[in-house]
Structures are given as C-alpha cells and as structure tokens.
C-alpha cells in the first residue's frame, strides 16, 4: 500500500531539500524518517513530520550501521537533529 503524502508534508519535504545534511553539513539529497525510537516499526515509517535532511552517504550509513552507532558518531540523536531541522525550517518560513 502506498502512503498518501499530504500537501503540507510535500512542502516540508521540498523545504528539507533546501537545507544541508543535518548530520555532516554537506548538501542534503534525501529525506530521512526517524528510526529506532519507537516511532516506526517493521515495514512502517515514522510520521512525515519526523523527518530530517540527510546526504546520501549519511542516510546509507545510518541504515547500514544502525541508529545507535550512527547517533554516537555524531554525538546527538535523530530527535536532537529533528529539533535543529525544525528550528531552521521555522527561520525559513519567517524570511519567505
């Protein structure tokens, strides 16, 4: 079954692609749904609001190494990165 993406979340995804990778700072290329913190499950993605911008390398690295190892590498959780992302999106909204 294909999930429907609301217009609001399409806007969020488009805006995420204007940000840098929240993990390493390079150009974001992909939208990542947070994993491993009880907001997703087997074959289920987290809500579209629980998304952060990642480059392809960081996104692949996260899924191949697991969220705990990956978060330790960057010394912050995906939820902390989500807070950073939402703050940046809020600033973008204010200036546009």
Is the pLDDT assigned to residue 92 strictly greater than 60?
Answer: yes
Q: What is the CB neighbour count within 10 angstroms for residue 51?
A: 22
Can you tell me the distance from the alpha carbon of 48 to that of 94, in angstroms, rounded to the nearest whole number?
Answer: 21
CA angle 15, 2, 48 (to 5 degrees): 30
Under DSSP, is residue 30 helix (H, G, I), strand (E, B) or coil?
Answer: strand
Q: What is the pLDDT of residue 40?
A: 52
Instruction: For residue 87, name the pLDDT band (cuts at 50, 70, 90).
Output: very high
* pTM for this model (two decimals): 0.84
Is the pLDDT assigned to residue 83 strictly greater than 70?
Answer: yes
């Amino acid at each position: 079954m294909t999930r429907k993406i609301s217009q609001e979340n399409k806007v969020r995804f488009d805006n995420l692609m204007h940000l840098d990778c929240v993990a390493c700072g390079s150009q974001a290329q992909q939208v990542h749904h947070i994993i491993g913190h009880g907001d997703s499950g087997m074959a289920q993605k987290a809500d579209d609001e629980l998304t952060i911008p990642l480059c392809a390398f960081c996104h692949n690295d996260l899924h191949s190494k697991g969220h705990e190892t990956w978060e330790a590498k960057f010394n912050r959780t995906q939820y902390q990165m989500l807070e950073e992302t939402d703050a940046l999106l809020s600033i973008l909204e204010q200036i546009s």
